[in-house]
Chains A and B, each alone.
Chain A
Amino acid sequence: MSTTAETAIPVEHVHQEGFVRKYLWSTDHKMIAKQYLMTGLVMAILGGYAAYVFRMQVAYPGTKVPGWGLVTATDYNALVTNHGSIMIFWVAMPLLMAAFGNFLIPLMVGADDMAFPKLNRLSFQIFLVSALVLVASWFVQGGGYGGSWTSYPPLSAKAEYNLTPLAAPLWLIAVALEIVAFLLGGINFVVTAMNNRTKGMGLLDIPIIVWMIVVASVLFMASVGPLVAGAVMLLFDQLLGTGFYDPAKGGDPVLWQHLFWFFGHPEVYIVLLPAMGIVAEVITVFARKKLFAYKTVIYTAAGVGVLSLFVWAHHQFVAGIDPRMANIFSITTMLISIPVAEMLFVYIATLYGGSITFPVPMLWALSFMAEFLLGGVTGIYLGAVGTDVYFHDTFFVLAHFHYTFFPIAIIAVFAGITYWFPKMFGRMMNETFGKVHFWGTVISFNFIFIPLFMLGVRGDHRRIYDYTRFPDQMQPGMQGLREFATIAMLVLLAFQFIFVANFFYSMFKGPKAAKNPWKANTLEWDTASPPPHGNFPEGFPAVYRGPYEYSSPNRSDDYWPQSAPS
């Protein structure tokens, strides 16, 4: 078969498909990507709503929250648990890995679909079921799961502690299904990038975003297994009366913390790497500069992946682990900041001397670098045992990981959506509304979490539902900071309506996008916007050079598409 010349599918073969076939049963990678994108965005709205309700409770305890009512202690636990779970498992993962991975990998390597299209469809269907199981768990008796997204036993294992006997196993099942969906998706990302590349595309001609998703998929596969085993054990503890995590029966609750964080910490890098990839694509295009040290970025990403498997126990400094072990994990945690910082330096070096313009995707990409840097720097305090013992479980920790996850799951995703929107939907987004949305979001984001850093330094405990019940812990001025953060969050949420309006208006009424509106090099800009069924109707492109040949001195144009013969 490999000897036959590849020709694209003629247009007349593209038949009209019914609704179910097109939207629920499609094997087309672009449709699956959009399904993941939409599901992820809907889940983000639910996660944002949860944050709105519990932040209102923290700022104005005991008052009725508009759109929810009185927040009980059980409600509060369920809201924070589901906010965390949703934002990690049902927003960051589907948007960064699945939506961009599915849309971009076949286009960027010059293929017409994924290596296993049916597996790809199955992966989305399982993901959709997992989201539905999670949503369903909010409506069972006892309400949504209240054992926190980290689900530590005994809180998670014993219904008399978490008070949500039905939602607890449902939550575990939903997370397990989500993991299965991404294991199936990972097969596709890796094998497609390995085996479905078009003629001339060597390993070092693959765009960074594809590399990053591949490395992240491998990292996910390598780290999630113990959590699957741990989840089965936790499910048995909940339902069958085993005692894997129960000291009274010979078990050990810290075992769960090891199994969870062995995945949980690499997970940060699993979503960070695709975000870094998006930023690499965006900054090279809008700085009209070749990516500085392309190979180094790939090796660094692989190094981050390996190192991230050895940092997990920094979550357990106060859980009673051996202090000698704590020191080792302190060192590995400090070490991992080196490659990540290096990547940021590489990006800054890419910007240096470029002809930088500031359209909306570039604003998002640049703000990613600035905000993520703050997240990384504040992590140093938590990686060091001495300071972590004090900061543990305060709002400082919360503000720190929001300074990493918000840039990853929100800022980088907006960079990606605004950058590839023309290719996905064939129309341009509105720049003015995009800029208003950008500034409103980024400024209010900082106004939410800087006060939370200040609260954390003063010892504000992150799991307290109503501080008025602890009058001896109420320090003057702290309530004011809580209210300030909540108001900033309301502003942030309000600005998202601008994005939603811009997104849907542009999808139907925006100006039609040309093939290559940003004058970019990578292969997805080589075909129509949006790409038709089969992606490259004029035949698959061949690749002649790397993806970042911008402002080449040998050429009058300041870009040099990968597919242009020299």
Chain B
Amino acid sequence: MEQPLSLTRNTAGLPTGRLGVWWLIASEVVIFGGLIVSYLMFRVAHQEWADQSAHTNTWAGAFNTLVLLTSSLSAVLAHQAAQAGNGKKAARFLRFTVLGGSVFLVVKAIEWTTEINAGLTISSGMFWSFYYTATGLHGLHVLAGMVVMLFVAADAAKNKNLHRVENAGIYWHFVDLVWIFLFPLLYIAK
């Protein structure tokens, strides 16, 4: 099927794909925003939730923060490589980012398993409801970002659609940023 000609237009001076990603991120910001603000309103009114949050594993959370930040770094390096026209290198960095995402999810899964085995499930109280909903929703976004990156990396390795490397990276930074909010709110605040 032929591509519509107007797709080659760029009247506003910003790449169409990047505009799309920013729109996606803006709509996600309000989704996570709604969830986080709801949590904060409750948390401020219920000091006793600190007893519950004491059960979250701060070290695992800190390790995961480090992993996500590192994976964001390699996403930036992938963008740099793509700008230099080196698709193979960009693909390598993207796959490293995906590896970071996988480590994050594995650690998260171990955390959940430990907590559920200790009897702390999603219906064990409001703190845990928020904990599982927020980290679960965030985990889904990590997974989605990984899938997208694998597709983009497969293209980039053949030096195709290199502009998408940046777009995938922008999304990944957003996922990273959400975690930067969730980590102190759910793990550090005791």
Query: Footprint of B on A, CB under 8 Å?
Result: 1-2, 4, 6-9, 13, 27, 106, 111-113, 115-117, 119, 183, 186-187, 190-191, 194-198, 201, 221-230, 232-233, 236, 240-244, 249-252, 255, 259, 262, 534, 540
Contacts and interface: CB of A to CB of B under 8 A. Distances in A.
B1 to A, nearest CB: 7
Contacts of A249: 125-126
A244 B129 contact: yes
B137 A232 contact: yes
Contact of B23 (A4, A8, A191): A191
A225 B20 contact: no
Interface residues of B, number: 39
A137 to B, nearest CB: 24
A106 B31 CA distance: 29
Contacts of A252: 42
Interface in B106-132: 122-123, 125-126, 129
Q: 10 closest pairs, A vs B, by CB?
A: A225-B30, A226-B34, A111-B6, A113-B4, A229-B34, A225-B31, A229-B35, A242-B129, A241-B123, A194-B12
A114 to B, nearest CB: 8
Nearest to B35: A229
Contact of A259 (B14, B20, B34, B123): B34
B78 to A, nearest CB: 23
Nearest to A241: B123
Nearest to B30: A225
Interface string B5-29: 1111111101010011001101111
B184 interface: no
Given A194-B12, A195-B16, A187 B122 contact: no
A240 B124 CA distance: 11
Given A186-B23, A229-B38, A242-B123, A236 B133 contact: yes
A241 B121 CA distance: 10
B33 interface: yes
Nearest to A233: B133
Contacts of B6: 6, 106, 111-113, 115, 196, 198, 540
A111 B4 contact: yes
Given A106-B6, A190-B23, A242-B129, A195 B28 contact: no
Nearest to B17: A116
A186 B30 CA distance: 15
A240 B34 contact: no
A505 to B, nearest CB: 33
B11 to A, nearest CB: 4
A187 B20 CA distance: 6
A113 B7 contact: yes
Nearest to A255: B38
A9 B7 CA distance: 13
Contacts of B33: 225-226
A250 B45 CA distance: 11
B37 interface: yes
A27 B6 CA distance: 14
B122 A221 contact: no
Contact of B9 (A197, A226, A228, A236): A197
